[in-house]
Amino acid sequence: MLTNSDGRCDAPVLQGDDYRSGVYQLHFHAGDYYRARGVALPEPAFLDVVVLRFGIDASQEHYHVPLLISPYSYSTYRGS
């Protein structure tokens, strides 16, 4: 799934029967993102694909998984 120009998904990643408790991974292709915007990255890039592994409890209504990123660092948290 690709994010929109604001960096968000236009629809939930998991819906209906697919939304269940478990451990999931999101792969953010940060190197491709920065290269497409003309950012000069070293080869290999310090951060190329950022993998976030997290668990969800399906009894919760929804989850936001923000990724704040630069070419050399990132942070994430459970958003509201």
- What is the mean predicted confidence (pLDDT) over 40-49? 97
The set of residues, in sequence order, having a beta carbon less than 8 Å from that of 12 and lying 6+ positions away, is 19, 62
Whether the predicted pLDDT of 80 surpasses 80: no
Q: Which range marks the domain in which residue 36 is found?
A: 19-76
Residue 4 inside a domain? The answer is no
Residue 47 inside a domain? The answer is yes
* CATH of residue 29: 2.60.40.180
Q: How far apart are CA 50 and CA 57, in angstroms?
A: 23
Residue 66 inside a domain? The answer is yes
Upstream peptide bond of 66 is cis (omega within 30 degrees of 0): no
Q: How far apart are CA 24 and CA 22, in angstroms?
A: 6
Is 5 or 40 the better-scoring residue by pLDDT?
40
Residue 2 inside a domain? The answer is no
Residue 68 inside a domain? The answer is yes
**pLDDT band at 33; cut points 50, 70, 90:** very high
Q: Provide the domain count of the chain.
A: 1
Q: For tokens 């629809």, name the residue.
A: 11
Whether the predicted pLDDT of 36 surpasses 90: yes
Residue 6 inside a domain? The answer is no
Residue 57 inside a domain? The answer is yes
